[in-house]
């Protein structure tokens, strides 16, 4: 038995029956991190000593009969979640010296459930990107390779370190955040399952803000069930987040076994876009066939404003980012570059601390919010955002869930799609609408490209109906039977 190859559900059962200990499970993962991280760069900060301490506490809890399904499970934490006493960078040099004095709600809940934190996972700077190339701490390498090629591929982004770590078996699961696809697209690029829950399901307290009306935390893991186990603990009402949903958290794991018999699944015509790769279209058709065989009713639907999702996003997200990132001024925390006066200090601090993509987005956001342009850009985008939500509301009057591809292509090479910012933005064309509408969406691995790279399908559900999303995702997972492993993996392929 290779400990790093276990699922969370599998390891949890072995821990509960005392066949393995949390200390040995964590040690195996710490060793794997030490062996593979220098190459993959999936973690910005590894915390092996903390992990060992937590593992000892986990073994004690299991012995005392107070274990949970996550007790002793080693996880990667996206370095956007504040962790008390552990450096938290958001992959930005401007936060290089930042050690949070407090803990995010999501990580506090995971800790309380007995989870073990292996380290802080790399990401695009401030979660702005779809490739992990914008990280101030270097790009992450995707553990997957094209057949017959050793070219380095991106793991997707922004939760690329989380995705690479789980795919390479140097974490059993990971936290991510998703503002426009940052959990789902990297999950698709690395052969993982990943869910962005409904906006408000997970507290945003202590998660470094990018675009507050879109940001949601969620898990990445190797199975749909493992995602359900993680999301169960990450979810729940929190007084410290004013947009946190005050409603009960259902049993996500139980929803996995529901099946899809009689469920109505919508297929949106507008997602058949120009430029979608034929093999992704073919995989989508396969997914439709699987669900039909399982007894689902397939229905064509229309989401007429789909193509405006991405341009709306690239106004709304930078606008919110320009406001959220105003706090990085070299005064209260983070790095400072001295200047001739206060304004000069602000300007030099921000010029040195932010990378190119973050600067671009702050400037676009500043512009679309500035006097004279607010109505033409920001207000207009918010109105079209309302139309995108209405499209989904209309669709969900007829269907229970929607099936689409997750991304328009498989993972691409490090250095590709860098010609201009918009080329990179197109990665998120299928994922952004769910963020704008605030609805849950999950990516599940469904097959391989002709080059041997994983491809994902996306399941979108109604507000607060993650259960149906899990039920449909699990049906796709069972039918796809995706068992291929990446080229770079703990213990060797």
Between CA 367 and CA 373 the distance in angstroms is: 7
By CB under 8 A, tell whether 312 contacts other proteins: yes
Residues found in the chain: 493
Q: How far is the CB of 415 from other proteins (least distance, A)?
A: 17
Q: How far is the CB of 40 from other proteins (least distance, A)?
A: 29
Residue 182: active-site member: yes
Q: How far is the CB of 356 from other proteins (least distance, A)?
A: 8
Long-range Cβ contacts of 291-295 (<8 Å, 24+ apart): 291/260, 291/263, 291/265, 291/403, 291/472, 291/475, 291/476, 291/479, 293/479, 294/259, 294/260, 294/261, 294/475, 294/479, 295/259, 295/260, 295/261, 295/262, 295/263
Between CA 471 and CA 459 the distance in angstroms is: 10
Which of 21, 104, 135, 158 is an active site residue?
A: 158
- How many residues touch other proteins under the rule CB under 8 A: the total is 74
By CB under 8 A, tell whether 379 contacts other proteins: yes
Sites for other proteins among residues 100-119 (CB under 8 A): 101-102
Contact 388, 305 (CB under 8 A): yes
By CB under 8 A, tell whether 281 contacts other proteins: no
By CB under 8 A, tell whether 271 contacts other proteins: no
Among 15, 381, 410, 459, the residue binding other proteins under the rule CB under 8 A is: 381
Q: How far is the CB of 357 from other proteins (least distance, A)?
A: 10
Alpha carbon 325 to its chain centroid, in Å, reads 21
By CB under 8 A, tell whether 384 contacts other proteins: yes
By CB under 8 A, tell whether 330 contacts other proteins: yes
By CB under 8 A, tell whether 275 contacts other proteins: no
Backbone phi, then psi, for 335, in 5-degree steps?
A: -75, 155
Map tokens 């990943």 to a residue. Answer: 194
Sites for other proteins among residues 204-263 (CB under 8 A): 213-214, 216, 239, 242-243, 245-246
Name beta bridge partners: 19. Answer: none
By CB under 8 A, tell whether 177 contacts other proteins: no
Give whichever of 248 and 295 is closer to other proteins, judged by the CB atom.
248
By CB under 8 A, tell whether 408 contacts other proteins: no
Sites for other proteins among residues 422-441 (CB under 8 A): 422, 425, 435-438
The angle formed by the CA atoms of residues 91, 134 and 111, to the nearest 5 degrees, is 30
Kindly list the catalytic residues: 78, 158, 182
């Amino acid at each position: 038995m290779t400990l790093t190859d276990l699922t969370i559900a599998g390891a949890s059962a072995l821990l509960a029956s005392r066949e393995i200990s949390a200390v040995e499970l964590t040690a195996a993962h710490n060793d794997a991190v030490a062996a593979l991280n220098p190459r993959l760069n999936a973690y910005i900060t590894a915390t092996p000593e903390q992990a060992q301490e937590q593992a000892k506490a986990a073994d004690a809890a299991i012995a005392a009969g107070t274990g949970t399904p996550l007790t002793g499970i080693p996880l990667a934490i996206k370095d956007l979640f504040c962790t008390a006493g552990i450096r938290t960078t958001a992959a930005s040099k401007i936060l290089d010296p930042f050690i949070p004095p407090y803990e995010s709600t999501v990580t506090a809940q995971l800790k309380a459930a007995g989870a073990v934190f292996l380290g802080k996972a790399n990401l695009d700077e401030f979660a702005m990107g779809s490739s992990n190339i914008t990280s101030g701490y270097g790009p992450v390498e995707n553990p997957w390779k094209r057949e017959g090629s050793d070219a380095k591929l991106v793991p997707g982004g922004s939760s690329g370190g989380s995705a690479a770590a789980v795919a390479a078996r140097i974490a059993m699961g990971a936290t991510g955040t998703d503002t426009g696809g940052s959990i789902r697209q990297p999950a698709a690029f690395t052969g993982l399952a990943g869910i962005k829950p409904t906006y408000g399901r997970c507290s945003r307290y202590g998660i470094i803000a990018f675009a507050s009306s879109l940001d949601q935390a969620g898990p990445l893991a190797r199975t749909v069930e493992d995602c359900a186990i993680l999301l169960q603990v990450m979810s729940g009402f929190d007084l410290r987040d004013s947009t946190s949903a005050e409603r009960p958290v259902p049993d996500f794991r139980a929803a996995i076994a529901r099946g899809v018999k009689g469920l109505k699944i919508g297929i949106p015509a507008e997602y058949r876009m120009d430029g979608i790769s034929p093999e992704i279209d073919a995989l989508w058709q396969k997914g439709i066939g699987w669900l039909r065989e399982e007894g689902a009713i397939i229905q064509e639907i229309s989401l007429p404003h789909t193509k405006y999702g991405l341009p709306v996003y690239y106004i709304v997200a930078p606008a919110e980012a320009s406001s959220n990132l105003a706090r990085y001024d070299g005064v209260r925390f983070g790095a400072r570059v001295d200047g001739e006066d206060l304004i000069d200090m602000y300007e030099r601090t921000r010029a040195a601390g932010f990378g190119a993509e973050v600067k671009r987005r702050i400037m676009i956001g500043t512009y679309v919010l500035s006097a004279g342009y607010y109505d033409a850009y920001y207000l207009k985008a918010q109105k079209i955002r309302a139309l995108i939500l209405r499209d989904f509301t209309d669709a969900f009057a007829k269907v229970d869930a929607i099936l689409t591809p997750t991304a328009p292509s498989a993972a691409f090479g490090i250095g590709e799609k860098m010609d201009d910012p918009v080329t990179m933005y197109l990665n998120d064309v299928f994922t952004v609408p769910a963020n704008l509408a605030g609805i849950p969406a999950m990516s599940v691995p469904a097959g391989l490209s002709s080059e041997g790279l994983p491809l994902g399908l996306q399941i979108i559900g109604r507000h607060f109906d993650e259960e149906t999303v899990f039920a449909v995702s699990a049906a796709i997972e069972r039918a796809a039977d995706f068992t291929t492993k990446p080229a770079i993996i703990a213990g060797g392929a």
